[in-house]
Structure 1
Amino acid sequence: MTGSLTEYIKCVKQSVEQRDTLKFKWCITINPGIEEGAARSKYPEPNDFDLYPLPERVQDVVRSYLKLTKSVYINNNIEQSFADLDEMVNKLNRFAETQTNWVNLALINACTELISVHSVLKDSTSKQETKRASNGESTDGSSLEKLASTINKSFKLSLNDKNLDISQSKRRDIYIFLGYLIKIYFKLGKLELASSVEKALHGTRFELPVIGPQMTSKRHVITYLYYSAILALDRSDFKAAEEKLSQAMTLVSCYKKPKNVTKQIEKILLVLFPLRLLNKGVFPSRDAWENVPNLRFLYLDNLFAAIKEGDLKKYTDSLEKFKTILLKNHIYILFIHLKSLCCLRIIKKAVVIVSEINSIDKPHIIPLSALQIALTFSDTRAHDNSSSIGYDLDRVECVLANLISSGRMKGYISHSNKCVVLSKTNAFPKLFANGY
């Protein structure tokens, strides 16, 4: 415990000179212990003589930190605490520019505390900014935008470290700052900024940490991979999205206590299950649903069930029923694409029936009118006394053309003869990979 301002400054000086990352972190945390924090809050404001033993940029950090302790422990003012902590992290970023990655732990901890303080502040800040705006006062941007700006500086500081030795470079912890930053941009709804930081990451010419089970910052890497997959979804790059989420699941599986990451697993699988179905035609195994009962109801009992059954009406109804959830998680468009698999299932059933009827003649030549009846019946059968034709022949041809071009059907459409000519050997090479 540091009993006086002089002893505290001496402790800071030793931690910097010795590059003692744990001690330096303890010297500038808002939670050094209740008694220690209270004691530091009562230190007098340091003058230039008091701070003379410290490097100039560390002096700025200490000034900001001691001001912060008063906001936290004496004034108990959450808004001022956030402002002071934000100032301190920016001062710490400036100091870290001249240091190797020994300073990373303190910087990461400061950013983590800043995000935690913001989570407490956000509701009251929103009300206060609304009130100020109604009074014609400038709010100087939201607290979340300030948070994004500060974390972005820490990210750039890490990314732009030119030290070629990754073990000594601040790039070693790049995914921690990136995970924080990309999540904040999503909260702000600024996906273009999230895309830009990812491009900056891929554009660097310096070595980056290899993503794998050996990493110590798995939680932050998982966060980055998840949001990176969402960005890929928005670009309709479904293969890249699946690869990112598969990587994330590999890292999640490394946790010794899976129950502690149940929510993260559910969030990942919410997107990964339909991606695997679209990309590979693979339905989740029965064991996969045990720890995700919410997904069981959403997918197994509704959307996936409709695809397996070839029930367009059920699929459309489920899509509308869960539209808010799907939109919120950026997967609504993904399920628009998956509708083709539901159509594929219906067409396969119709082809079997027509082939049995035309077994003597040419079972691989299917009239478009037969598929029109099948698709329309599936889409409208729940409507009593419905006589509407939901699929005209042009729409049927469009569905078939998409399935053929994607490789899920083999054959060609004869527009003049109003039929589809299927492959005699393997008309449906990519129905579903696990037997459905």
Structure 2
Amino acid sequence: MTFMNVANYLQIIDRSWRSCNGQTVSMFVSIRHDHAKYRNYYIENPENMVEKFLPAPVDELVIYHLKCLYAISMDDFLSAYQFQTGLVQAFTKILQAQKEENWSLPIMNVVCSDLRFIAQQAEKQRVGVSEKPGEFLEKAADSLMGCFRICAGDTRTDNRDTKRKGMLALVNQLFKVYFRINKLHLCKPLIRAIESSPFKDTFSLSQQITYRYFVGRKAMFDSDYKAADKYLSYAFENCHKVSQKNKRLILIYLVPVKILLGYIPNRKVLEKYNVLEFWDLVQAVCQGNLKWFDEIMEKHESFFIACGIYLIVDKLKIIAYRNLFKKVYLILSTHQIPVESLQTALEFLGQDVDLDETQCIVANLINEGKIKGYISHQHRKVVVSKQNPFPPLTST
């Protein structure tokens, strides 16, 4: 099967390049476009053929692209990574030379996205070549940063031709790399650059959704749950309803944030997006049932770890402690709660704790504002406020 002969393919690129049609060129240098599926584009040494049809500098881009397709066809992602890196670096020089225009931004988006994807595949083949996990992705990020600096450095304020319109797409690609190699601290300057950009609200909705999804996740890991709620809620509410997979992905991070802020998620929503793992957890937290909480954490451990949220979800236990202690307070009907009573409740629910550990749990709850009161060590009692001793979680 053939897509079109290579000569026609090169002629289309030539016409598109000369007419500054970045959208068309971007399709024909993409490893995800239809032409990439056909064998007649798998050319090991395409230099002579390409140079017959294409002038510099676009000839270099297409040579690297065809070499990359050939390497992928041989399932050699290590070589494909080298060729795609060469393509991105060659394009970076072209982008820098285009002083008063931004028509090539679609090409930048495609070649950078492809580099990230190929780097991920190369990581799987790195054994015996590189023993440093994430090395290919980290180097790919360096190449992406080269394009980002050029876009961010465009000082023109004309929205139509500024390269700064390409910043968010690159930031989103860099986020995907940094989250994969667990270097979230590198996201901070990128977020600062976008937040201070005068074009912040002009980026496409899909790019803004992706951006807020990652910023929300970073805020969650930074324990800034209100910011996480704001960004993740925006991403979930604006994500298209047909994108079930993406909405589910957002919800996996939004749900624990909501619970930490004192909101109970709707069971129907959890069911719709197939994240019912959270429902029993919500019930255990609300009831202060620590034994049930521990059982659920063990049952769904692999799911929480695979999603990278185990430690965040485990923080919900402090709310379960708070709800259990509130029950003890209501049963005893006193503002001076013996620490022994709290310890007994914890032990009844399978927690192996002594008095000192029980006091530590109470101290943490007081420190986080989940209980209003203090510990009287002399009398071994928790003295809680007579007014609103267990404030609503939404206000803490």
Bin for the TM-score computed over the shorter chain: 0.7 to 0.9
Q: Structure 1 residue 96: deviation in Å? A: 1.0
5 Å-filtered alignment, 1:53-72, equals: 54=55, 59-66=56-63, 68-69=65-66, 72=69
For residues 327 and 40 of structure 1, the distance between their equivalents in structure 2, rounded to whole angstroms, comes to 40
Shift in Å, 1:304 = 1.9
CA displacement 1:295-331 (0-9 Å, x = unmatched): 21x2212x22221221112222333343343344333
The one-letter amino acid of 1:417's match is: H
Distance 1:398 1:8 in 2: 70
Task: Give the Cα–Cα distance (whole angstroms) in 1 for the partners of residues 369 and 266 of structure 2.
Answer: 24
Query: How far 1:91 sits from its partner (Å)?
Result: 0.8
Q: Secondary structure at the match of 1:420?
A: strand
CA distance in 2, matches of 1:186, 1:205: 19
Kindly state the Cα deviation for residue 74 of structure 1 after the two structures are TM-superposed. Answer: 10
- Structure 1 residue corresponding to 2:269, chosen from 262, 285, 288: 288
Q: Which residue of 1 aligns with 2:249?
A: 267
CA distance in 1: counterparts of 2:369 and 2:168, whole angstroms: 38
Structure 2 CA distance for aligned equivalents of residues 4 and 368 of structure 1: 80
Report what 1:242 is aligned to. 229
Secondary structure, counterpart of 1:366 in structure 2:
strand
**Partner SS for 1:424:** coil
Shift of 1:335: 3.1
Counterpart amino acid of residue 110 in structure 1: V
- Residue 341 of structure 1 is matched in structure 2 by 319
The structure 1 residue matched to 2:197, chosen from 198, 207, 230, is 207
Q: Which of these two proteins has the greater Rg computed from alpha carbons?
A: 1
The code of the aligned residue for 1:342 comes to A
Equivalent residue for 1:170?
163
Separation in structure 1 between the aligned mates of residue 35 and residue 51 of structure 2, nearest angstrom:
27
Give, as a single letter, the amino acid of the residue that structure 2 aligns with 1:427: P
Aligned residues: 386
Contact kept? 2:152, 2:163, Cα under 8 Å = yes
Shift of residue 215 of structure 1? 4.6
Residue identity in the other structure for 2:263:
V
Helix, strand or coil: the match of 1:342? helix
Query: What is the alpha-carbon distance in structure 1 between the residues aligned to residue 358 and residue 379 of structure 2?
Result: 14
State the Cα distance separating 1:104 from its structure 2 match: 0.5
Question: Aligned in 2, Cα 1:282/1:47: closer, same or farther, shift over 3 Å?
Answer: closer
Q: Is residue 270 of structure 2 the alignment partner of residue 299 of structure 1?
A: no
Question: Matches of 2:27 and 2:39 in 1, distance apart?
Answer: 10
1:184-203 pair list within 5 angstroms: 184-189=177-182, 191=183, 194-203=184-193
Q: Could you tell me whether the CA contact under 8 Å between 1:97 and 1:157 is conserved in 2?
A: yes
Which position in structure 2 is the counterpart of 1:367? 338
Aligned residue in 2 for 1:358: none
Structure 1 CA distance, aligned partners of 2:81 and 2:159?
Answer: 32
**Residue ranges of structure 1 left out of the alignment (5+ in a row):** 356-362, 381-389
* Matched residue, 1:421: 383
User: CA 1:38–1:208 in structure 2 vs 1: closer, same or farther (change >3 Å)?
Assistant: farther
Rounded Cα–Cα distance in structure 2 between residues aligned with 1:91 and 1:268? 36
For 2:204, the equivalent position in structure 1 comes to: 216
**1:367 positional shift:** 2.4
Instruction: State how far apart, in whole Å, the 1-side matches of 2:80 and 2:93 are.
Output: 20
- The residue that corresponds to 2:111 in the other structure is 110
Aligned-pair identity in percent equals 25
Distance 1:161 1:40, change over 3 A: farther
Maintained 8 Å contact 1:166/1:207? no
**TM-score normalized with structure 1 length:** 0.75
Give the CA RMSD over aligned residues: 3.7
Determine if the alignment matches structure 1 residue 181 to structure 2 residue 180.
no
Cα pair 1:21 1:105 within 8 Å, conserved: yes
